Amino acid sequence: MSKLILDAACGSRMFWMDKHNQNVEFMDNRQCFEELPTGHVINVNPTVVGDFRNMPFANNSFYMVVWDPPHFIHAGKTSWLTKKYGTLNQDTWQDDLSKGFNECMRVLKPNGTLIFKWNTYQIAMSKVLNCFSQSPLFGDKRSKTRWLVFMKEV
């Protein structure tokens, strides 16, 4: 049965209250389990393995998409931060985020909602918004971690 909501970069599903919500398609481009010496547990187990730049879903599929892409461009390849959150490609991150945003909009139903999460630690919010074809409706303007809300315009 098709799902109502897409998490387009689910990672370890940390922000979900119910990590097994049956209404959600959990997508990530990797599947892995690792217990790190630091005590961090990496448990990425998506229901669909896929790339947010080229999603394996039909147009107009979901009522809501939540997208929390990697937000680091500088992090040690073997660091727990990289293992937990992934990293953006230093050379292509703008194009990758632009493609990801367009894909989120494509798979949303008309007037569906995109919830975008970003951490401004390494890349400013304004630089990320420059990659997107639409402005957010509303959201947090101050915190390091931002939650922004978009609607699919038709």
Interacting residue ranges for ligand SAM, rule: CB under 6 A: 9-15, 28-30, 44, 51-53, 68-70, 85-86
Minimal distance, residue 115 CB to ligand SAM, in Å: 11
Minimal distance, residue 110 CB to ligand SAM, in Å: 24
Minimal distance, residue 151 CB to ligand SAM, in Å: 21
Quote the tokens at residue 115. 């919830």
Helix (H, G, I), strand (E, B) or coil at 43: strand
Q: What distance in Å separates the CA atoms of residue 154 and residue 133, rounded to the nearest whole number?
A: 13
DSSP 8-state symbol, 54: B
CB nearer ligand SAM, residue 56 or residue 110: 56
Exposed, middle or buried by CB within 10 Å (0-12, 13-18, 19+), for 140? middle
> Are the CB atoms for 107 and 48 separated by under 8 Å?
no
CB nearer ligand SAM, residue 104 or residue 152: 104
CB nearer ligand SAM, residue 70 or residue 112: 70
CB nearer ligand SAM, residue 29 or residue 134: 29
